[in-house]
Amino acid sequence: MRKLTQFVLITAALAASPAFADMKIAVLNYQMALLESDAAKQYAVDAEKKFGPQLNKLKALETDAKALQDKLVSGGSKMSNSEREKAENDFKQKARDFQFQSKELNEAKAVADRDMLKKLKPKLDQAVEETIKKGGYDLVVERGAVVDVKPQYDITRQVIERMNQLR
């Protein structure tokens, strides 16, 4: 809310200025520009290949744990004490394994995501800077700070295209 208030105040101050009529303003969705780039899309494919098998194992473990839980809920009263105890222990072990493997997968994915961001951010910054210079924009506002914008003022696609050209 504070950013929106600041934006409104700055816009009002600029609008009061005669130079405002000569200003060239654009809007940029920085996150979309990053995620829609060819490099980010390729990373998503590579990450799916890298982390897909682990995710499949995790889903299988979750399915097994749910099956044990359902078995305990529906037939637990009909089981002998030793059968129920074994099923409960199996369920607890699968739940622990699921939590551990889920945490490991999330941490590995987070590290890979940070590495990708570290590689792509300089290219994105360069693409943004070049697009701003080429378009001669005086003010570029993050899309999240704007309620609505006409498509001709949104430079996100231009930034994505420029980023895709950079290798």
- 71-75: long-range pairs with CB below 8 Å, 24+: none
- Please name which of 63, 65, 87, 64 lies closest in space to residue 75, comparing C-alpha atoms: 87
Position 92 confidence tier, pLDDT thresholds 50, 70, 90:
confident
Put simply, whether the predicted model's pTM sits higher than 0.85 gets the answer no
Q: Indicate whether 121 pLDDT > 60.
A: yes
Phi, psi of 79 (to 5 degrees): -80, 155
Q: What is the mean pLDDT of residues 96-118?
A: 94
What was the pLDDT predicted at 34?
93
pLDDT tens digits, one per residue of 21-34: 678 999 999 999 99
Q: Indicate whether 86 pLDDT > 90.
A: no
Position 85 confidence tier, pLDDT thresholds 50, 70, 90:
confident
Q: What is the mean pLDDT of residues 101-129?
A: 95
Distance CA 153, CA 151 (A): 5
